[in-house]
Amino acid sequence: MVRPINALVSGLAFAAAAASMQAPASAQTQPAKPAQIVVNASGGAQAAALRKAFFEEYEKRFGVRVVDSSPADLGKLRAMVTTGNIEWAVTELNMEDAVRAQEMGLLEPIDAKIVDRSRFPANLQTRTHIYTRSAYSTVIGYRTDAFPEGKRPKSFADFWNVQAFPGPRSMQNSPIDNLEFALIADGVAPDKLYPIDVDRAFRKLDQIKKNVAVWWTTGAQSAQLLIDKEVVLGTAWNGRYYAAIQQGAPIAIEWNQGGIKESAFVIPKGAKDAHWGQQMLAVMSDAKLQAIYANIVTYPGLNLDATQYTDPKIAPHLPTHPDNLSKQWWQDVNWWVKNGKDVQDRWSRWVIAK
Amino acid sequence: MTDTAAAGATAANLNVTGLELSNVVRRFGAVTALAGVDLTVRAGELLTILGPSGSGKTTMLKVVAGFELPDEGSVRLGVHDITVASPARRNIGMVFQNYALFPHMNVAANIAFPLEMRRMAPPMIADKVAWALQTVGLTGYDRRMPSQLSGGQQQRVALARAIVFDPGLLLLDEPFGALDRKLREQMQLEVKRLQRRLGLTTLFVTHDQEEALVLSDRIAVMNEGRLEQLGTPQDIYAHPRNRFVADFIGESNLFHGRVTAIEGGIAVVAVASDLVLRLVAMAGMRAGAEIGAVVRPERPRRLGSGEAADNAVEGELVEAVYVGESIKYRLRLSSGAELLVRWPFRAGGEMLGGGARLRVGWDARDMHAVPWS
Amino acid sequence: MSVLTGVLGRRAGRHGPALALGILPIAFLLVLFVYPVLRLLLFSVENGSLAHFEKALTDGLYVQVLLATFEIAIVVAVICLLLGYPVAYLLATASPFWAGFGFALLLLPFWTSVLVRTYAWMIILGRNGIFNRTLLELGIVDQPLALLHNTTGVLIGMVHVLLPYMVFPIYSIMKRVDMQLLSAAEGLGASSAQAFRRIYLPLTLPGVFAGMTLVFIISLGFFITPALLGGGRVMMIGVQVERLVRQYLDWSLAAAVAVILLAVALGVAAFFRRVLKGDLTWT
């Protein structure tokens, strides 16, 4: 049973109990090799892919065991850093949370001497505290048996067009992406999305609201809804639809107008295994290893050399494939960091309103 | 004139027929709990069902109360056939072994319960409850909860609740079992007085024969689903009809023997080669019959040397027990049989020591026969 | 010296075990319950201000979600009662074999995680789920019933998880009720219905109140089941608290909301205790 009050209470107790202790002495100059490090990430199928692509190599290279944990949790990161009781050497965060964490000083800088990002796109090389592990996209997916060839949704205008493309839809229970999708459906050019005209976006969302049967909460749910035919048209993260397609579900992905964004890994400020966390990021930057990872879950690494090692059959399913990339728009994470909370409250009010 | 007479006759009939059980049979699988019981409880009488556990007395009580239905036979209360009536419609007041007071209701509410179920008007209920409380001597206790009462008080409440609605029959299911001896005797007398005063037809179930002898107008002794004997306490005590009753009611000496002769209304019974007993012959008794000869322990008296009696035996004293107002002695007779005697103990009197030899005797009319088989 | 330590040692030896036995549970309660609750209170009144409470109690969103949460918790508790009371009665009066069998069925779901059970309900209740397909094939309905992604789905999922919390307290009270009291009541003129209403029901009320309190309070904290089975439209306050804690790091507002929930939970528990006491001295 998930009980947020309990979770909160025990979290606070934990934080408070540890607060009385002194933070450990400043980073060691000669980092000792620990028996193991903890890498915290989103969990699920991704954990197995991380192990196969990176952890196995890391363990072989350094003789340090890698333990994985989940989920990615900004609140927990903050509790760890403020109490000095830091379990994680590295943790995944979504970009929005990573930017917030950096603003609050919860992150160690990325050590360029260890982590080689020279083959990353230029704008990602200069991120001081945030390591861009991957890119993923929120895309349209639909049941191929509901929409015959030639009558398939190709855009968010189509997604909104319930006459031409009838059937129940699902979208994430979050304003992120959905406001942008609404604006695109309303005719805003993808390069003119930000700053978001929130009122206009909600007005457009009003039009589709009653046709959205499910506002999904978990990634697993998002794909299952199409598999179970609860909905015939939806949006979800590309890897989720890909996995369902691999299992034989009659589902297709439409990359057009997908919202691509970065997924980050960070090192908690004051982590006792910070050095070994930097080494983990170094391993994660290896083009060949990134290709192994992408072949499993279609979330590519950002080393430009990785493409040449990626299975050619997999490459068209990656959001960073040139054909796909050109159709999508990049999320402006800074806008969301600045406006996220207010827009989220407005979203909550809107979604529960009758 | 005729009408009035007829009405009077009906009323009289009502009065004499209390509870009537006819050929009541109740089986539980292969076990027959009641094997055709016929029993009439007269109006206003206190009749006790006495029997060991497993004798069927509890089943009988349940059949009367309506918690069990008989497989055969009928149950009538007054003019009504209640054989299959629901418990609620029988108008029987029952006092349970553990009183079964409603723990969430106070004393007044417990007593008012049967009246409320009868939709009596609240002012009348109040009057009746006050009367019932006064009757059982608990005036002023109406606001108490059952848990705040002693065992005796709880029993009085249970009694008040059972009589407050003027039941056609009062059922008492071993109600004194949980009380200590002194309180038990006090409550027995109170219940008896109350029953007399209110003229309540009462069926009382117990396994305690002493209690039965004290309280009852009549006693019905039950064993293995049958009525063994029905009679007044004196009758049952003095003249147990069979071995079971003789054994179960009070203490008794039972000798197994064969009638050798009947001489002038006195039967001669050979128990052993050197033990011959005499008793009053029963109608139809013939020589050669195998019988049990019963004598109560208080009947034998000590014989002086040369003193004669219808029955005279000599034995060795093997045990003496002081039991308050009397002393019990156990004698071993020369035949090997034992004889229990009980004699009053007078102040200043002496107890006989073990090993003494005694001669005791009793009259033929102090002994009677019961069928052996 | 050695005599002194010997005496002290003996004394400690005599009282030590009892003391240790007492200290452990007390320490346990202090560390795991009292201290966190105090910290929670402190967070909620950060900087000595009640602003967070003000926001939680005036912001339309929080008020609306709090009220919706209470409403769902009450409805779930009532449904659990209506289902759980007869179940508890069957278990309390069944033979040991059937009671054991019933308990096994009742406890079986505890062996699977709530998340798994929630997904199972999604498979059963969906438009193309087992239940609707069966109804359609049997011709009982010609349109699939909307059992999922709405309040109905949330209620079904929550009742399923919480039913045992209703059954157990009622069962344990029922087991203590002397069934002879019902015979007594019937013998005194009560019908079965009257005996139930006047005797059995009042005597089992403590179990009912315990079950209601338990189910209501646990319900307040639910969020993943409503989020998944409610299709996003049913939002319970737990979702808001979780978001404040994990995403927006507004722990003070989260604590204020949690304190409000705690107060309501305590209020409900106190209310049932009072009703119960009142009832016991009634009539």
- The pLDDT-based confidence of C275 (bands split at 50, 70, 90) is confident
Mark whether C268 and C183 lie in a shared domain.
yes
CB-based contact A2 C65, cutoff 8 Å: no
pLDDT of residue C16: 60
Mark whether C148 and C178 lie in a shared domain.
yes
Q: Of the candidates A17, A217, A349, which has its C-beta nearest C227's C-beta?
A: A217
In a domain, C280, yes or no: no
Q: For residue C205, what is the domain's CATH number?
A: 1.10.3720.10
Residues of chain B neighbouring C180 (CB-CB closer than 8 A): 96, 98, 100
Mark whether C226 and C111 lie in a shared domain.
yes
Strands A88-94, A36-40: pairing kind:
parallel
In a domain, C281, yes or no: no
Sequence-distant (6+) residues with CB within 8 A of B329 are: B317, B319, B320, B321, B340, B341, B342, B343, B352, B358
In a domain, C78, yes or no: yes
Mark whether C62 and C36 lie in a shared domain.
no
Q: Among B6-10, B252-256, C27-31, C227-231, where is mean pLDDT lowest?
A: B6-10
In a domain, C283, yes or no: no
**Secondary structure letter of residue B352 according to DSSP:** P
Strand stretches in C79-151, DSSP E: none
In a domain, C109, yes or no: yes
Interfacial residues of C (vs B; Cβ cutoff 8 Å): 178, 180-181, 183-191, 194, 198-199, 202-203, 279-283
Sequence-distant (6+) residues with CB within 8 A of B326 are: B298, B342, B343, B344, B345
In a domain, C135, yes or no: yes
Q: Of the candidates C235, C248, C261, which has its C-beta nearest A341's C-beta?
A: C248
Q: What is the percent of chain B where pLDDT is above 70?
A: 95
Residues 213-232 of chain C with CB under 8 A from chain A are: 218, 220-224, 227-228, 231-232
Rounded Cα–Cα distance for residues B116 and A86 (Å):
71
Question: Is the ipTM beyond the 0.85 threshold?
Answer: no
pLDDT of residue B356: 83
Kindly state the average pLDDT of the residues A126-142: 95
Q: Which two tokens stand for residue C71?
A: 């409403």
Mark whether C79 and C20 lie in a shared domain.
no
Asked if residue A144 has pLDDT above 90, the reply is yes
Q: In the block, which residue shows the tokens 């553990």?
A: B98
Mark whether C20 and C88 lie in a shared domain.
no
Gyration radius of chain B's alpha carbons:
25
- pLDDT tens digits, residue range A47-101? 999 999 999 999 999 999 999 998 899 999 999 999 999 999 999 999 999 999 9
In a domain, C23, yes or no: yes
* Segments forming the whole domain that contains residue C180: 51-275
Residue of C nearest to B173 (CA): C184
Distance from CA of C173 to the nearest CA of A (A): 26
Mark whether C267 and C158 lie in a shared domain.
yes
Residue of A nearest to C233 (CA): A352
In a domain, C282, yes or no: no
For the purposes of burial, counting CB atoms within 10 Å of the CB of C41, is it exposed (0-12), middle (13-18) or buried (19 or more)?
A: middle
Report which of A282, A292, A280, A286 is spatially closest to residue A304, judged by C-alpha positions: A286
- Provide the number of structural domains found in chain C: 2
Question: What residue ranges define each of the domains in chain A, with the CATH number in brackets?
Answer: 26-135+262-325 (3.40.190.10), 138-260 (3.40.190.10)
CB-based contact B98 C178, cutoff 8 Å: yes
Mark whether C145 and C17 lie in a shared domain.
no
- pLDDT tens digits, residue range C70-114? 999 999 999 999 999 999 999 999 999 999 999 999 888 888 888
User: What is the reported pTM?
Assistant: 0.81
- pLDDT tens digits, residue range C118-134? 889 998 999 889 999 99
Distance from CA of B131 to the nearest CA of C (A): 18
Mark whether C171 and C231 lie in a shared domain.
yes
Q: Give chain B's mean pLDDT.
A: 89
Mark whether C175 and C103 lie in a shared domain.
yes
CB-based contact A229 C65, cutoff 8 Å: no
- The pLDDT-based confidence of A11 (bands split at 50, 70, 90) is very low
3-state secondary structure of B342: strand
CB-based contact B104 C194, cutoff 8 Å: no
Residues of chain C neighbouring B103 (CB-CB closer than 8 A): 181, 203
Residues of chain C neighbouring B105 (CB-CB closer than 8 A): 283
Handedness of CA B73, B76, B81, B83 (dihedral sign): negative
pLDDT of residue B13: 40
Report which of B175, B174, B164, B109 is spatially closest to residue B142, judged by C-alpha positions: B109
Handedness of CA A60, A66, A72, A77 (dihedral sign): negative
> For the packed helices C201-220 and C60-93, what is the interaxial angle rounded to 10 degrees?
140
pLDDT of residue B122: 96
- pLDDT tens digits, residue range C150-209? 999 999 999 999 999 999 999 999 999 999 999 999 999 999 999 999 999 999 999 999
Mark whether C134 and C194 lie in a shared domain.
yes
Inspect the structure and tell me whether chains C and A have 3 or more CB pairs less than 8 Å apart.
yes
Inspect the structure and tell me whether chains B and A have 3 or more CB pairs less than 8 Å apart.
no
Q: In what order do the strands lie in the sheet with B218-223?
A: B92-95, B169-173, B202-206, B46-50, B218-223, B226-231
Distance from CA of C100 to the nearest CA of B (A): 26
C181-213 CB burial, b ≥16 within 10 A, e <16 = bbbbbbbbbbeeebbbebbbebbbbbbbbbbbb
pLDDT of residue B322: 84
CB-based contact C186 B87, cutoff 8 Å: yes
Mark whether C148 and C123 lie in a shared domain.
yes
Q: Give chain C's mean pLDDT.
A: 87
